[in-house]
Amino acid sequence: MDIRKQIGGDEAASIQVKNTNEGHLRSLSTSAVLVPRTAEQEPVVSVILPTLNEEEGIGECIQRIIATLNELDITGEIIVSDSSTDQTPVVAAEMGAFVVTPDQVGYGYAYRYAFEYARGEYVVMGDADMTYDFEELPKLLELVTRGEADMVMGSRLQGTILPGSMPALHRYIGNPLLTMLLNLFYGVGVNDAHSGFRVFRREVLDTLSLKTDGMEFASEMVMAAGANDLRIAEVPITYHKRLGEATLSSFPDGWRHVKFIMTNAPGKLFSVPAFGLMLAGIFAMVASVLGPVVGVSRFGTATLLVGSLLTIAGFQIGSLAAFSSIVSQPVRPSKGLVTSWIKRDFHLESALATGGLLIAMGGMYVAYAVTEWVVNGAVQRQLIAFDVFAVTAIVIGLFTVFNSLFIELSNQSRTSGSGSIVQKEPRTEDELLENEGYVA
């Protein structure tokens, strides 16, 4: 499918804009490609730029977008979601962009606010600091228009990162680590998960149902795409040195990504460590009883105690997986071993019976041990393996009883909520335009 499209409309009008980077005036022909908000015609492409004091780069950025639209011979609109205190919105509006002012702060909120105004069949995301070259837009847009992908991202790590454009901490640690976590927990199979240069059909926004307000929005979009089995493709791009001061806070913003990724994968976050700890703990306890020799070392009492602790810790972490399956609402519903079993087969009566049986078995042995101790004159007795097994069984039994009661109470709370849910009616175009100060 060819993305070029012959367009009609008003005759091109020239406007004079000041280029803040080069300090001279340029004449741009814009009305042939930028569709006014008052026009009945809908643009083919909506380019959305979140801005925070980007007056140094916004002018050149818009010029390149317009040049690219002219080259493709398609109509478009440029929506600037602005929270600046400098001249960014003035420069953008003078160049034909539609400027909106979000009523809350945050990178993600700026995008979500602007999405409501988008009219194009295709949505383009990018930054206004010249780090992304919009002259590379055609190769991203082509894959979406041809139906080869639902979302296309420009990959900086597969492309060219120019000197001074990305700190070494981000290039070699931050971005690869966050991308690895996304691939691990969500299986999205991308190389540069946090590239801000993205293209997709506008209808995809309904599928993604995005909710976050901060920098973690970039992660949420990729996670939601993976959770909904959308096809994600990457195209190598060139990443440039930004114009203006950086607004990214490496460690706070990085932690927001990590926290969001991990808390939205409760199955793997809890189930995998739980299974590993319990397996290691049971192995250590059994090995201590059998007494195998490894080199000059023999598994004994210390290994037995460690095994008991690992088993109990693993069980309780597994219980957290069960809790999370009930109280959390992750981007992708959990499919972990423990959470899947809880959702499918949990019954309070069975759990109480299992916990009671463990307590009874451990308690019987403890009662026997105490009786023997008293009969022998209450003298100190040597710790034996069965003592540890019995105490471990009692602790796990107690956890099983009370955890299962908590799960049952949580289930009742979730299913017996009262009251009605009031849904907001979608805002009309007139309501969207109301109070927006800059209209192309």
The answer on 275 and 397 residing in a single domain is yes
Which pLDDT belongs to residue 276? 92
The answer on 405 and 274 residing in a single domain is yes
The answer on 276 and 256 residing in a single domain is no
Q: Looking at per-residue confidence, does 402 or 22 come out higher?
A: 402
Q: What is the pLDDT of residues 205-250, one digit of tens each?
A: 999 999 999 999 999 999 999 989 999 999 999 999 988 777 667 7
The answer on 175 and 162 residing in a single domain is yes
The answer on 160 and 31 residing in a single domain is yes
The answer on 174 and 84 residing in a single domain is yes
Last residue of some domain: 264, 281, 301?
264
Mean pLDDT for the chain? Answer: 82
In a domain, 339, yes or no: yes
Residue 201 belongs to domain with CATH number: 3.90.550.10
In a domain, 425, yes or no: no
Q: Looking at per-residue confidence, does 333 or 5 come out higher?
A: 333
In a domain, 397, yes or no: yes
Cα separation values, 82 from 55, 92, 179, 189, 312, Å = 11, 10, 28, 32, 52
The answer on 244 and 135 residing in a single domain is yes
Number of domains the chain is built from: 2
The answer on 292 and 232 residing in a single domain is no
Q: What is the pLDDT of residues 399-436, one digit of tens each?
A: 999 988 887 887 776 655 444 333 444 455 555 555 45
pLDDT greater than 60 at residue 20: no
In a domain, 428, yes or no: no
pLDDT greater than 60 at residue 438: no
Which pLDDT belongs to residue 321? 78
Confidence of residue 378 (pLDDT cuts 50, 70, 90): confident
Token pair in block for residue 49: 């730029």
Last residue of some domain: 231, 264, 297?
264
pLDDT greater than 70 at residue 167: yes
The answer on 248 and 307 residing in a single domain is no
Structural domain containing residue 40: 14-264
Where are the alpha helices (H) located in 209-347, listed in sequence order? 217-227, 250-263, 266, 272-290, 301-327, 337-345
Q: Which strands, in side-by-side order, build the sheet including 122-125?
A: 98-100, 76-82, 45-51, 122-125, 198-201, 151-161, 232-239
Name the range with the highest mean pLDDT among 96-100, 184-188, 316-320.
Answer: 96-100
The answer on 116 and 67 residing in a single domain is yes
**Helix 272-290 / helix 385-415 crossing angle, nearest 10 deg:** 160
pTM: 0.73
The answer on 148 and 77 residing in a single domain is yes
The answer on 272 and 248 residing in a single domain is no
Last residue of some domain: 234, 249, 264?
264
Q: Looking at per-residue confidence, does 25 or 106 come out higher?
A: 106
